[in-house]
A and B are shown apart, each in its own frame.
Chain A
């Protein structure tokens, strides 16, 4: 398991470095005395590429064929999908629908990230969180966030 993780991390570093090097291919490099825009970033990306290769090779050499089963009981994807979705929804709704509705949506979608949902507890918590958010951010800090939808 640990070794597979090293191979994947190595590949990740290599991919990021390669993408960065490709994006910065036209950045002026300049000389050591007069460094251009691309000098330091490209230098760093080459180092990253090298380190990625080392990490990957170390992972490949150390444990061939040793794979362990995942120890997690819950899905690996579930939190990732719903936490991300709840934030994206929040960013889309906060300015148009206001704080209260955005919070309801965020909690509604976010709570799907786990299967341990309890309805009554959730309603109470949501109410408390809305009161707290309005109290801290709108009344306490005096921020100009719309609370209700603007028609």
Chain B
């Protein structure tokens, strides 16, 4: 079996002491930020990008991945105990999870969240291992026109499935694409939007951009909001296990959530948050007595918690196999790879198998670590909620500044981060989400390159995108998505799905 051979390579990479340590560091940091509201996985991964620059690419990826799925575990803890979602993906967990806690069933809620997540993580890891190689083969058979159309579909789908105004999100993508083109044009040698600065000749640096937009922009927005008073339910959590009846109620929900999350995670724009919302809606639909939801139904915790973890992990599939980021976290991963000079895409699996499989194996190990970190140590995490934001933001600010500086030992980069912090703040206040911009930024040069190559194949005839059957299908799919989201009925349903609370 090839799969076992590949996984064996993966485990031999993931089980080295150094990589185990990085996986542990990743899930630990992930849990930490999952617990703390006001700082999300995107900002954290952005902040830690400079650090991975000094590591081996595999170790860096393992750590960043750990942060992402670790945050899904941590987010549920605060959702259940404090009725405060640490992450957007655990917003729905608050509904029934906190009710369970108030009925004295906090232990059961936490246990089902952790065990459901672990089960989902295991399934998602296997899904990646089985689905990625064939997908990469498909990707390798794509020519420039197909690849260009795939990028278009990926970008459109990413904004349609995300929440917020679609048209603004598309504008943000375009803006990102343009920003991605800053610097010297690889094909003609002409410089674009460099304003004569040699520092911009190689393009905008990724790290100052993302730290500014996500890390600093978010800090400033949080500071304008009144201080949250966090009333921790500091009761001792006892009975971290499930009764037979709870187990019987929970496991079908875990299965449903895992399946749903695994599917939605692969779609562009999918991932943890969408999966969790969809799973909650599904559980309510299939329940024999929907009125129990909102009053501490264990399925309302089991389903979404499994789904968000499965979705977080399977969203790696399009990134690793096709080089297409489905969400902002994956765009950051691509940025991390590019910093190391690795171009993500179908060739990654054949050229760097140890990296691909090492990361997949580390995900399973990381999930195991998370169960251990989360269940017995739950008290410590709850204590952490008492750290006031006024200290937290200063730490974030400081590590952003040092981190940005260390990548190139460049004070110019720190100024750029300050500039993009300003820009990010303006965007968030105008309700223009910066996430699509990053997707565009990462894909800008790739899209232009494929467009040029496609035009060379067709001698400048744009009809090539419609003549090639695969490319045509991909573009039709993108168009359908846009039409569907423009329909009023669907639009209100979409709003509803994101406001289930």
Contacts and interface: CB of A to CB of B under 8 A. Distances in A.
Instruction: Tell me if chain B binds chain A.
Output: yes
Interface of A: 2, 5-6, 8-9, 12-13, 16, 20, 23-24, 27-28, 30-38, 40-41, 44-45, 47-48, 51-52, 54-55, 58, 72-76, 78-80, 83-84, 86-88, 90-92, 94-95, 99, 103, 106-107, 110-111, 113-114, 116-118, 121, 125, 129, 133, 137, 141, 143-145
Contact of A33 (B409, B426, B455): B455
Given A23-B193, A33-B459, A84 B406 contact: no
Contacts of B398: 103, 106-107, 110, 129, 133
A51 B414 contact: no
**Would you call the interface of chain B mostly helix, strand, loop, or mixed?**
helix
A113 B223 contact: yes
A33 B461 CA distance: 8
Interface of B: 51, 54, 165, 167-168, 170-171, 174-175, 177-178, 181, 185, 187-188, 190-193, 195, 216, 219-221, 223-227, 388, 390-391, 393-395, 397-402, 405-406, 409, 411-412, 414-415, 417-418, 421-422, 425-426, 429-432, 448, 451-452, 455-456, 459-462
A30 to B, nearest CB: 8
Nearest to B190: A37
A43 B478 CA distance: 20
B181 A40 contact: yes
Contact of B175 (A5, A6, A16, A58): A16
Contact of A79 (B195, B219, B417): B219
A15 to B, nearest CB: 11
Given A32-B455, A137-B406, 13 more contacts: A13-B171, A33-B456, A34-B460, A54-B167, A84-B421, A87-B417, A91-B414, A106-B397, A107-B394, A107-B397, A111-B394, A121-B391, A129-B395
Contacts of A51: 167, 170-171, 174
Given A58-B167, A91-B418, A9 B430 contact: yes
B426 A28 contact: no
A90 B167 contact: no
Given A27-B192, A35-B187, A44 B414 contact: no
A45 B171 CA distance: 10
> A2, A20, A44, A107 — which one has the most chain B CB atoms within 10 A of its CB?
A44
Contacts of A28: 188, 190
Nearest to A84: B418
A127 to B, nearest CB: 12
B460 A33 contact: yes
Nearest to B184: A37
Contacts of A133: 398-399, 402
Contacts of B459: 33
B32 to A, nearest CB: 14
A113 B390 CA distance: 9
Nearest to B419: A84
Contacts of A116: 227, 388, 390
A52 B171 contact: yes
Given A48-B174, A51-B171, A107-B398, A41 B188 contact: no
B178 A117 contact: no
Contact of B455 (A35, A110, A111): A35
Contacts of B168: 6, 9, 55
A44 B178 contact: yes
B425 to A, nearest CB: 6
Contacts of A24: 192-193
> A40, A111, A114 — which one has the most chain B CB atoms within 10 A of its CB?
A40
B258 to A, nearest CB: 37
Contacts of B430: 5, 8-9, 12
Contacts of B451: 35, 40
Contacts of B227: 116
B388 to A, nearest CB: 7
B464 to A, nearest CB: 10
20 contacts: A20-B178, A20-B193, A24-B192, A30-B188, A32-B455, A35-B452, A36-B188, A41-B181, A47-B174, A55-B167, A58-B167, A74-B225, A79-B425, A94-B405, A113-B393, A114-B223, A116-B390, A133-B402, A141-B54, A145-B402
A100 B422 CA distance: 25
